[in-house]
Amino acid sequence: MERNKISELRTLIGRLLIVAVIVVVGYLIYQRFFADNSGSDYAIEDTPLHVEEIRKIVELNTIKFRDEVVVDSLELYKTTAEQIQGNLEKLIDPEQAKHGISSSNVKRRLTMVVKGELLYGIDLKRKDFTVIPKDGKLVISLPNPELLSINLTPKNTDVFVENGTWKDYERQLLMRKARTKMIATGEKLRLTEKAKAPLERLLKQLIRSQVPIVIEYY
C-alpha cells in the first residue's frame, strides 16, 4: 500500500515537471516569434538623457558654405568740365595718378572681392525639439534648419579697384551688399533644405534606438 502511494507521488511530480517544461518552452517560443520585443519602454529608456545632452549643444551645425562675390560701387562725372577737373586733381595725387592719366569719366569706383562662410543648422537656444515614442517609432520633431550666421572679415576681402576716395561707411555698404548676394546664393542652392539630411544623420547617431526613428519638421 505504501509503495503505491510513493509510485503515485512520483507520477504526479513527473507530470508537474513535464507541464513546467512545456510552459517554459511555450513562453520562449512566444517571445521568440510572436511577442513585440521592440517595446518603446526599453528602446527609449535612456532617451531623456540623450535629449538633455543634445540641448546642451548651443547649435546643431550641418552645412558650411563658402562663397565669394564681387561687389561694385560706381560714380561718374556729370559734365565734361567736372571730368577734366577731377582727372587733374587725381594726377597730383600719387595714389590716384594712374586713374587721372586715363582721363576716364569715372569719378569714383570701388570694386571688392568678398569671401565669406555661411552656416546652416538649428539654434537650440531659440528653438526646441521633442522626442516622443509613437506607434512603435521614435518621433523627433525639429524646427526647420535656417541660416545661423555669415562670417565676413576684412582679411578675406580683396580690393580689386579703388578709384577716388571712399569712406568707411561706404565700404560697409558694399560689405552688406556682398552679404545679401551670399544669402541669395544660399537660397538659390536651397541650402536650408539640404541641411536636413546631415542633420538627420547626426541626430540618429546621438539618439540611438532599437525602434525606427522618424524625423519631422515644423
207 pLDDT tier (thresholds 50, 70, 90): confident
Q: Which residue has the cell 538659390?
A: 188
Q: Is the pLDDT of residue 61 over 60?
A: yes
Provide the H-helix boundaries in the chain. Answer: 2-33, 40-43, 47-55, 80-91, 97-101, 168-188, 191-194, 196-206
CA distances from 192 to 54, 100, 121 (A): 20, 47, 8
Q: Which residue has the cell 577737373?
A: 85
Average pLDDT, the chain: 82
pLDDT value of position 111: 96
* C-alpha to C-alpha distance for 129 and 110, rounded to whole angstroms: 46
* C-alpha to C-alpha distance for 64 and 173, rounded to whole angstroms: 24
What average pLDDT does this structure show over 35-43?
Answer: 44
Phi and psi torsions of 179, nearest 5°: -60, -45
pLDDT value of position 21: 58
pLDDT value of position 107: 95
List, in order, residues 6 or more apart from 159 with CB less than 8 Å away.
110, 111, 112
43 pLDDT tier (thresholds 50, 70, 90): very low
Closest CA to 125 of 193, 204, 54: 54
Question: In this predicted model, what pLDDT tens digit does every residue of 69-80 receive, in sequence order?
Answer: 999 999 999 999
pLDDT value of position 4: 60
Question: pTM for the full model?
Answer: 0.69
pLDDT value of position 51: 67
Question: In this predicted model, what pLDDT tens digit does every residue of 156-197 receive, in sequence order?
Answer: 899 999 999 999 999 999 999 999 999 999 999 999 999 999
